Amino acid sequence: MNEEGGPSRAIDREHALRLLREMILIRRFEEKCAELYSAGKIRGFLHLYIGQEAVAVGAMQALQPDDAIVATYREHGHALARGVSAEAIMAEMYGKVEGCSRGRGGSMHLFDAATRFYGGNAIVGGGLPLAVGLALADKMQGRNRLTACFFGEGAVAEGEFHESMNLAALWQLPVLFCCENNLYAMGTALARSESETDLCLKASSFEMSAWPVDGMDVVACEAAARRAAESVRAGGGPHFLEFRTYRFRAHSMFDAELYRDKAEVEEWKKRDPIPAFGARAKEEGLLEDADLAAIEDAVAAEIAKSVEFAEAGTWEPVEDLTRFVYSERATSR
Amino acid sequence: MTAQVPTKTTYREAVRVAIREALQRDERVFLMGEDVGRYGGCFAVSKGLLAEFGPERIRDTPLSESAFVGAGIGAALGGVRPIVEIMTVNFSLLALDQIVNNAATILHMSGGQFNIPLVIRMTTGAGRQLAAQHSHSLEGWYAHIPGIKVLAPATIEDARGMLWPALEDPDPVLIFEHGSLYNVEGELAADAGTIDICKAAIRRPGTDVSLITYGGTLARTLQAAEALSSEGINAEVIDLRTLRPLDSETIVASVSKTHRAVIVDEGWRSGSISAEITARIVEQAFYDLDAPVARVCSAEVPMPYAKHLEDAALPQVPAIVASARRLVSGHE
């Protein structure tokens, strides 16, 4: 199967600036997070998305405000691209009550009702059944909206992947399965864990439309997601996209990266989605050097503001420790 | 309202009536699970409902416990009201990830943004020679988990009356139906209402010893109380009904009155709900006790197939009677 090539759909200057701005925001935000982690401001696990930004930014362009998103523990980029504020995410990283999960979730569990962002799920594969259920609710209620479910290729080895793919296809549910194949499940290469490494072939075996996408090309990611989402909305059942991408940083802050060659990482960095798209946009006359500088300045200001917000944030009173174990309102009806 | 004549019914029919009423009452309610539709339910609980409500609302699933339980969680998040049926508690272990890592945590992890109004029903317990992979009583395990509620209807009234409040609850509720109860017959008022799912019930008032139980062992515990009364021992029988939250107040009030407690639980004793109840009595009613707390639990073996061995593994009336008698007489 060939990767979905660049689209014929021309993008205008405004859209190009938006794609670039969102990718740069994620990159700089996470660089800041790594710095704050070293400074002890952020604790727990921190999984950086650096290198994969084109996938979240491209795919989110295809979603409507009332669509739902289910993501993984490497979800800062998805939350930012979905429009959760950098302030709310940074405050969550700090564990402050102003965070998008009130400091209960941290880096791995970002949630946001306003943008229908359902986590931040840290059990590999565990988010897929949730996405199937969200889509089932929509179908049963006759709502024309979809659920985008992001997960890594490592999830493909989980039973929940196969169960969920089957159920979604069997019931023809509006799920857009977005598999981000960054080649390593933590430190285990795909070929060392799967007898069949063609992920689209696996998806196709569920009678589901599936195709691979160049995950380092934001325009290709957007085009593929738009095409798939359109088909899902038209009643075409679930679709599966394999975004071929690469994580530039370690799996988490505790990873010595013994499992891959530095040369391989350097090779992939040549395909860094941000400069690649920047160069292309410049070539097409959509972007000037001054634009790039303006974006960097605006992003730096936004991140500085988010850090300020998190620093100024408050700690949840310990007396509230056991809140949100059960709902505080008497009934859901 | 005209006077309602109580009708003869079974526990199975009571559960079915509760499901039917919920489906009629709220169009968002649906039932999903393995063989709930065409087959009519593994234990015939949902028999006839497919014809009445159609395949959208009586939804057969593949044998994918994790996916359909997780889909129930997602559907609840999406605004509908699933009743997910799992054939037996042993099979629910295939969905533990979804129940423990998602259903029980998402409200908390999301800082209160996303609650999960989900009901999961499943069969539990032994007594039908189904051996070690269809007979265990693991509801006590689930009662360990904050974020979910655990119900065990032991009577026809509760089988009928617990489902609606469980569906109205904003958080995940697990209902454990003991497999030996489905054929139990009794009378049920046609206008029997819903019940408070957070309260234990005193099934038999007494003064000399508190027999504390739930679910499948309630009937045997009541029989034991009868036998004890012929010996002049007046036992109080508490049906816990809800294992989480545990109604400590009712337990402690009873033990403070009788000064003796026997806990009857089909689960294993080590690290169990019976151990938790014992601890609460010791913590909250220690100085009211006239004797050590006693427990009658299942033998610590995987449930055997052979009838005589299965009977020997389970809490039986003579053991309950003997245990209570020892506490009251103060010696062997």
Average pLDDT value for residue range A193-207: 96
Q: Are residues B256 and B136 in the same domain?
A: no
| Structure letter (DSSP) for residue B247 | -
- Measured between alpha carbons, how far is residue B19 from residues A276, A332, B163, B187 in Å? 58, 19, 7, 18
Residue A220 lies in a domain: yes
Cα(first)–Cα(last) distance of chain B, in Å?
A: 56
**φ and ψ at A155, to 5 degrees?**
-65, -20
pLDDT at A187: 92
Are B161 and B38 in the same domain?
A: yes
- Tell me if B310 is assigned to some domain: yes
The answer on B220 and B181 residing in a single domain is: no
Q: Kindly report, residue by residue over B84-137, the tens digit of the pLDDT.
A: 999 999 999 999 999 999 999 999 999 999 999 999 999 999 999 999 999 999
Instruction: Please identify, among B166, B188, B210, the residue that sits at the C-terminal boundary of a domain.
Output: B188
If you average pLDDT over every residue of chain B, what do you get?
A: 95
For residues B100 and B11, state if they share a domain.
Answer: yes
Q: How far apart are CA B280 and CA B272, in angstroms?
A: 13
Q: What is the rounded CA–CA span in Å between residue A123 and residue A129?
A: 12
Tell me the residue range of the domain where A133 lies.
13-318
Structure tokens belonging to residue A312: 């100024």
Which pLDDT score is estimated for B190?
A: 73
A333 domain residue, yes or no: no
Say how far apart CA A126 and CA A160 lie, in whole Å.
Answer: 7
A166 conformational bin, left if phi > 0, alpha if psi -120 to 50, beta if neither: alpha
Write down the pLDDT at residue A333.
Answer: 40
CB A217, CB A273: distance < 8 Å:
yes
Helix, strand, or coil here: B27?
coil
Tell me, yes or no, whether B179 and B229 share the same domain.
no
Please determine, for residue A149, whether its predicted confidence score (pLDDT) is greater than 80.
yes
Please give the single-letter amino acid code of residue B109. Answer: M
* pLDDT on residue B156: 95
Q: Report pLDDT digits (tens) over A214-236.
A: 999 999 999 999 999 999 999 99
Taken as a whole, chain B contains a residue count of 332
Res. A2: pLDDT tops 60: no
Residue B96 at interface with chain A, using a CB cutoff of 8 Å: no
Please tell me whether residues B171 and B45 are part of one structural domain.
yes
Query: Hey, what are A83's tokens?
Result: 């429009």
Sorting pLDDT into bands at 50, 70 and 90, what band is A165? very high
d(CA B181, CA B154): 8
Q: Is B56 exposed, middle or buried (0-12, 13-18, 19+ CB in 10 A)?
A: exposed
Maximum separation of any 2 CA atoms in chain A, in Å: 59
CATH code (residue B131): 3.40.50.970
Burial class (CB in 10 A: 0-12, 13-18, 19+), B55: exposed
**Can you tell me the mean pLDDT for B142-169?**
97
Q: Is the pLDDT of residue A7 over 80?
A: no
Structure tokens at A221: 């990611």
How are the residues of chain A apportioned to helix, strand and coil, as percentages rounded to the nearest 5? 45, 10, 40
Same domain, residue pair B160 and B289: no
A203 within a domain of the structure (yes/no):
yes
| Catalytic sites of B, residue numbers | 65, 134
Out of B62, B64, B75, the one facing A136 most closely (by C-beta) is B75
Q: What average pLDDT does the segment A178-200 reach?
A: 95
- How many other CB atoms sit within 10 Å of the CB of residue B331? 5
| Total tally of structural domains belonging to chain B | 2
Relative orientation angle of helices A273-283 and A53-60, to the nearest 10 degrees: 60
Judge: B71–A123 Cβ closer than 8 Å, yes or no: no
Identify which of A100, A126, A326 has the shortest CB distance to residue B101: A126
Domain membership flag for residue B140: yes
Task: Give CA–CA dist B171/B163, Å, rounded.
Answer: 13
Cβ of B74 within 8 Å of Cβ of A136? The answer is yes
pTM to 2 decimal places: 0.95
Which two structure tokens, joined as six digits, stand for B332?
Answer: 């062997």
Could you tell me which of B60, B146, B102, B176 has the C-alpha nearest to residue A160?
B102
Q: 3-state SS of A185-201?
A: ECCEEHHHHCCCCCHHH
pLDDT of residue B6: 74
Alpha-carbon distance of B78 to B114, in angstroms, equals: 10
| Chain B environment of A141 (Cβ under 8 Å) | 28, 78-80
Write down the pLDDT at residue A168.
98
User: pLDDT tens digits for B188-243?
Assistant: 887 777 788 889 999 999 999 999 999 999 999 999 999 999 999 999 999 999 99
What are the two backbone dihedrals, phi and then psi, of residue A279, each rounded to the nearest 5 degrees? -65, -45
Rounded mean pLDDT, A263-269: 96
Structure tokens at B119: 């009901």
> In the prediction, which pLDDT does B4 show?
61
B130: containing domain: 7-188
How far is the C-alpha of B212 from the C-alpha of A118, rounded, in Å?
41
**CATH at residue A47:** 3.40.50.970
Q: Is A270 exposed, middle or buried (0-12, 13-18, 19+ CB in 10 A)?
A: exposed
Res A121 pLDDT > 60: yes
> Tokens 């499948």 correspond to what residue?
B216
Which tens digit of pLDDT belongs to each residue from B246-304?
Answer: 999 999 999 999 999 999 999 999 999 999 999 999 999 999 999 999 999 999 999 99
Q: Tell how strand B29-33 and strand B81-88 pair up.
A: parallel
Q: Let me know if residue A325 belongs to a domain.
A: no
Query: Under a CB-based contact definition with an 8 Å cutoff, are residues B43 and B182 in contact?
Result: yes
Among A329-333, B154-158, B221-225, the least confident range: A329-333
Task: Compare CB distances from A132 to B70, B114, B168 and report the shortest one's residue.
Answer: B70
Residue A169 pLDDT exceeds 70 = yes
What's the DSSP call for residue B75?
Answer: H
Does residue B143 sit in the same domain as residue B25?
yes
**Which residue of A128, A130, A158, A164 is the best one to mutate when testing the B interface, meaning the one whose CB has the most B CBs within 10 A?**
A130
* Residue A154 within a domain: yes
Average pLDDT estimate for B176-191: 91
3-state class of A152 per DSSP? strand
B154, B188, B222 - which closes a domain: B188
Long-range contacts of A326-330 (CB under 8 A, 24+ apart): A326/B107, A326/B147, A326/B149, A326/B170, A326/B171, A327/B107, A327/B112, A327/B115, A327/B170, A327/B171, A328/B112, A329/B170, A330/B170
Q: Are residues B257 and B283 in the same domain?
A: yes
Count how many domains chain A has.
1
Within a domain: A326: no
pLDDT the model gives residue B192: 74
**Which among A118, A134, A324 has the least Cβ separation from residue B112?**
A324
Mean pLDDT of A35-53: 96
Q: Binning pLDDT at 50, 70 and 90, where does residue B2 land?
A: very low
Which contacts qualify for B141-147: CB closer than 8 Å, 24 or more apart?
A: B142/B99, B142/B174, B142/B243, B142/B244, B143/B243, B143/B244, B143/B246, B143/B273, B143/B276, B145/B99, B145/B100, B145/B104, B145/B244, B146/A325, B146/B104, B147/A325, B147/A326, B147/B103, B147/B104, B147/B105, B147/B107, B147/B108, B147/B171, B147/B172
Say if residue B209 is in the same domain as residue B113. no
Q: Which residue of A has its CA nearest to B112?
A: A324
SS3 for A223-272, per residue?
Answer: HHHHHHHHHHHHHHCCEEEEEECCCCCCCCCCCCCCCCCHHHHHHHHCCC
Flag whether B22 is in a domain: yes
Calpha distance B264→B221 (Å, rounded)? 7
- pLDDT for the residue numbered B330: 78
pLDDT for the residue numbered B176? 98
Cβ atoms within 10 Å, residue A285:
9
In tens, the pLDDT along B74-87 reads 999 999 999 999 99
Residue A310: Cβ-neighbour burial (10 angstroms; 0-12, 13-18, 19+): buried
**Contacting residues for A26 by C-beta, under 8 A, at least 6 apart:** A49, A53, A56, A57, A76, A77, A80, A81
Shortest Cα distance from A137 to chain B (angstroms)? 5
Are residues B183 and B217 both part of a single domain?
Answer: no
Closest alpha carbon within chain B to A68: B78
**What is the domain-level CATH number for residue B246?**
3.40.50.920
> Do B50 and B163 belong together in one domain?
yes
B110 close to A (CB below 8 A): yes
Indicate whether B103 belongs to any domain: yes
> Which of chain A's residues have a Cβ under 8 Å away from the Cβ of B147?
325-326
Buried-exposed string A161-193: b where 16+ CB fall within 10 A, e elsewhere:
bbbbbbbbbebbbbbbbbbbbbbbbeeeebeee
